[in-house]
Amino acid sequence: MKERIVGVIPVLLVLWFLLSLFKPQTDASKASMVKRFWILKTHSEKKYSLVLCGDSRTYRGMSPEEMQNVLPDFSIYNFAYSSGSFSAFMLDQIEKRLDFDAPVKVLYLGITPYSLTPKAAKDGHIRQEMARKKEEVWEALYLDPVKQFFEPYQFDWDKPGDSVLYIQNYKATGWVATTKIPPDPGEAIPIYMRDFQDNTVSNTMIDSLVSRVERWTEKRVIVFAGRPPTTNAMINLENTISGFDESGFVRKFEQAGGIWLQTDVNDYQSFDGSHLDIPSAIKFSTDIASMIKAELIRRTH
Partner 1 sequence: MLFNSISFFVFAAAFFLLFPLVKHRSDNLRWAFLVTASLIFYGWWKWEYVLIILVTALIDFSAALAMFRFPTARKWLLITSLSANLLVLFSFKYFAFFLHSVNHLLSWSAVSQTFPTDPPIYFAILPVGISFYTFQSMSYTIDVYQGKLRPTGNPLHFLSAICLFPHLVAGPIVRGRHILSQLAHTRKASELERWDGLKLVSIGFFRKVVLADNIAPFVNNAFTNDLSVNNSIYWWLVMIAFAFQIYFDFTGYSDIARGLAKWMGIHFHINFNHPYYARSLQDFWSRWHISLSTWFRDYVYISLGGSRCKPLRNHVNLWITMLLSGLWHGSSLTFIAWGALHALYLSIERVTKLPTIISNIPGGRLISIFIVFFLVVIAWVFFRSATLRESFIVLFHMFSFNSSVELGSLPWPDFAFTGLLFLAIGVILEASHFLRIDITKLLHPRVAFYAEVGQYSAILAMCVFFRGTSEQFIYFQF
**Chain-centre distance of CA 225, in angstroms?**
15
Nearest CB to partner 1, comparing residues 100 and 166 = 166
Using CB under 8 A as the binding rule, whether residue 23 contacts partner 1 is answered as yes
Question: How are beta strands 259-260 and 221-226 bridged, if at all?
Answer: parallel
Q: Kindly determine how many residues on this chain lie close enough to bind partner 1 according to the rule CB under 8 A.
A: 21
- Give CA angle at 104 (100, 108), nearest 5°: 85
Whole-Å CA distances, 48 to 97, 101, 127, 175, 177? 6, 10, 21, 15, 20
- Asked whether the bond before 182 is cis by omega within 30 degrees of 0, the reply is yes
**Closer CB to partner 1, residue 101 or residue 135?**
135
134 vs 159 by CB, closer to partner 1: 159
What mask of x and - would describe binding to partner 1 in positions 135 to 154, judged by CB under 8 A?
---------------x-xx-
Binds partner 1 (CB under 8 A): choice among 45, 135, 155, 262: 155
Nearer Cβ to partner 1 (72/161)? 161
Helix (H) or strand (E) holding 179: strand 176-181
Asked if residue 20 binds partner 1 (CB under 8 A), the reply is yes
Distances (CA, A) of 218 to 58, 126, 204, 213: 25, 27, 21, 9
* Largest Cα span, the chain: 83
Applying CB under 8 A, the span of 6-14, 49-57, 163-171, 217-225 interacting with partner 1 comes to 6-14
* Comparison of 26 and 203: residue with beta carbon closer to partner 1: 26
Is 165 among the residues that bind partner 1 (CB under 8 A)? Answer: no
Smallest distance from the beta carbon of 134 to partner 1, in angstroms?
22
Query: Nearest distance from residue 143's CB to partner 1, in Å?
Result: 12
Does the protein bind partner 1 through residue 21 (CB under 8 A)?
A: no
3-state secondary structure of 168: strand
Closest to partner 1 by CB, 17 or 100 = 17
Least distance from partner 1 to the Cβ atom of residue 3, Å: 7
Q: Which residues of 74-102 are buried (b: 16+ CB within 10 A; e: fewer)?
A: bbbbbbbbebbbbbeebbebbbebbbeeb
Among 134, 159, 194, 301, binds partner 1 (CB under 8 A): 159
- The rounded distance, in Å, linking the Cα atoms of 290 and 62 is 13
Footprint on this chain of partner 1 (rule: CB under 8 A) = 1-5, 7-8, 11-12, 15-16, 19-20, 23, 150, 152-153, 155-157, 159
